[in-house]
Amino acid sequence: MLKDVANIVRGLSADIVEKANSGHPGMPIGCADIGALLFGEIMNIDASKSDWPDRDRFVLSAGHGSAFLYSFLHLTGHDISMDDLKDFRQLHSKTPGHPEYGETDGVETTTGPLGQGFSNAVGMALAEKMMAAKYNTEDHSIVDHYTYTIMGDGCMMEGITSEAASLAGHLGLDKLIAIYDDNDISIAGNTNLAFTESVADRFKAFGWQVIENIDGHNIDQVREAINQAKSDKERPTVIMAKTHIALGAPNKQDTADAHGAPLGEEEIKGLKEKFDLPVDKKFYVSDEVKEFFRAHAAEMQDQRLAWEKEFEEWAAANPELKKDWDQAIELKLPVDLKEEIMDLEMEAPIATRKSAGAALSKAFELIPYLVGGSADLAPSNKTYNAEYGEVQKGDYSGRNFRFGVREHAMGAITNGLALHSGLRPFAATFLVFSDYMRPAIRLAALMKLPVTYVFTHDSVFVGEDGPTHQPIEHVEALRIIPGLKVLRPGDEEEAKAAWV
């Protein structure tokens, strides 16, 4: 049946892009078998309550393949109708050209800029580890889920992917499973024109389990690879899935022509004939596939209800933890937060980074779900709070991160932490290096995420470091990002107020 599901999605995706007269059909058609396994068997998701806390997370890092995601979300019963699929890439539709968080039921994050989604997935997997460390007990595991992401050749080329993968390997995020759609094709042609490194060796060096030589169209092989991924309790896993872009398209399979443009009626006809789909029907879903997903939805609902029963038992046995959980999930602030921070006494004059650091320390004390870290500049940023521990492999109970000199990944990982829910993250570096993380900041603003950035050394008086470290244009550059609130305190009182 999963093969039938995959073939239905191939036809759906081709029709979706064709009707819109724009989009990316190749990836959805090529990854349909992987998607059928994930959405039809592997992942624990319940469309009737798509935000239940212990669901598995799925991130389409290759966001241009959005027709893939929308097709499966429709089939699994999310709030995406057939008419919504027909409105693909239209203004104000539920099915925008790239997945958008908050616009479409079941979409976990906004993706499109390549590598951002993968790095968000790292943040989600890290959040799962931290929440499990805090809330699970000997008798109840209420946080126990996986994060899956599909990434393409473009994601693998982006520098942010290497940054985030390096940190994920260092932290041992074993419940992160990345599936590499390795189809050898990008917009401009074959990837051998610009991308010939061994991705497998790179990820092995990062400390990942690498499962190679998987036929991405062989569902049994992909299933076995995912099971192998789950058996490794020390490392994240990347599955190297060889696929054919636009599999079954008679003339455009394995070509760049299938990447970012509609296939055309003749190609779609040939594809549908190849997979025994009715050529005369557009947006076709067989009754058998509909019934399969109805039954699967009932199973998923049972899984979610079983979790809710365990959650109720956990809550009854652990009232203080339940109180902390509710506060964290709702991001509820203490009523005395403003008073406590504004009443802090400091000797003036004092550098704003020091006064802001003191305010942050008080916030750490008052807000148990506040977490964050710096890109190797914590002593200068004044953002490290030693008494609350730090996150390292094997111990995720701390609240301080060491992101290393990985500003771009830091920005996207904090987005993933916020998207997971239950944590309020911040990220810190020098203001001049905000340029290194700007795309992630922009996406946080676009998604309206509760992420805080601490940018210190915000003046030309950085002086001796010279013009490379003097942030001349950076405040203005940040202020023009829609939806980003930029506060630049001028003294210790304003620095305290900025945190509240």
Mind listing the pLDDT tens digit of every residue in the chain (500 residues)? 999 999 999 999 999 999 999 999 999 999 999 999 999 999 999 999 999 999 999 999 999 999 999 999 999 999 999 999 999 999 999 999 999 999 999 999 999 999 999 999 999 999 999 999 999 999 999 999 999 999 999 999 999 999 999 999 999 999 999 999 999 999 999 999 999 999 999 999 999 999 999 999 999 999 999 999 999 999 999 999 999 999 999 999 999 999 999 999 999 999 999 999 999 999 999 999 999 999 999 999 999 999 999 999 999 999 999 999 999 999 999 999 999 999 999 888 899 999 999 999 999 999 999 999 999 999 999 999 999 999 999 999 999 999 999 999 999 999 999 999 999 999 999 999 999 999 999 999 999 999 999 999 998 878 788 999 999 999 999 999 999 999 999 999 999 999 99
Residue 428: what pLDDT? 99
Q: Residue 453's beta-bridge partner residues?
A: 427
Inter-residue contact 13 to 29 (CB < 8 Å): yes
Contact 303, 46 (CB under 8 A): yes
H-type helices in 275-351, by residue range? 287-317, 319-329, 337-342
Active site residues: 407
- Name the amino acid, one letter, at 88: F
Which secondary-structure segment (H or E) carries 104? Answer: none
pLDDT confidence of residue 159: 99
Per-residue model confidence (pLDDT) at position 17: 99
The whole-angstrom separation of Cα 299 and Cα 288 is: 17
Gap between the Cα atoms of 28 and 65, Å rounded: 6
For residues 14 and 9, give the distance between their C-alpha atoms in angstroms, rounded to a whole number.
8
Span between the terminal Cα atoms of the chain, in Å: 54
Q: Which amino acid is at 349?
A: P
Residues 6+ apart with CB under 8 A from 466: none
Contacts of 67 (CB under 8 A, 6+ apart): 12, 13, 16, 17, 23, 24, 25, 28, 88
Q: Is 282 exposed, middle or buried (0-12, 13-18, 19+ CB in 10 A)?
A: middle
Q: What is the structure's pLDDT at 460?
A: 81
Distance CA 117, CA 110 (A): 7
What is the rounded distance in angstroms from the CA atom of residue 39 to the CA atom of residue 28? 14
Residue showing tokens 């919504």: 84
pTM: 0.98
- Tokens representing 243? 């696929």
Specify the amino acid at residue 95. T
Residue 220 φ then ψ, to 5°: -65, -40
Domains and CATH numbers, the chain: 2-300 (3.40.50.970), 337-499 (3.40.50.970)
**What is the model's pLDDT at position 499?**
95
**What is the structure's pLDDT at 276?**
98
Which residue do the tokens 């393409």 mark?
152
At 239 the three-state DSSP class reads strand
pLDDT at 500 (0 to 100)? 92
* Of 385, 447, 454, 458, nearest in space to 426 by CA: 454
How far apart are the C-alpha atoms of 426 and 453, rounded to whole Å? Answer: 6
CA distance 473 to 240: 42
CA distance 90 to 112: 16
pLDDT of residue 459: 85
Kind and range of the H or E element at 371? strand 370-374
Partnered with residue 426 across adjacent β-strands are 372, 452
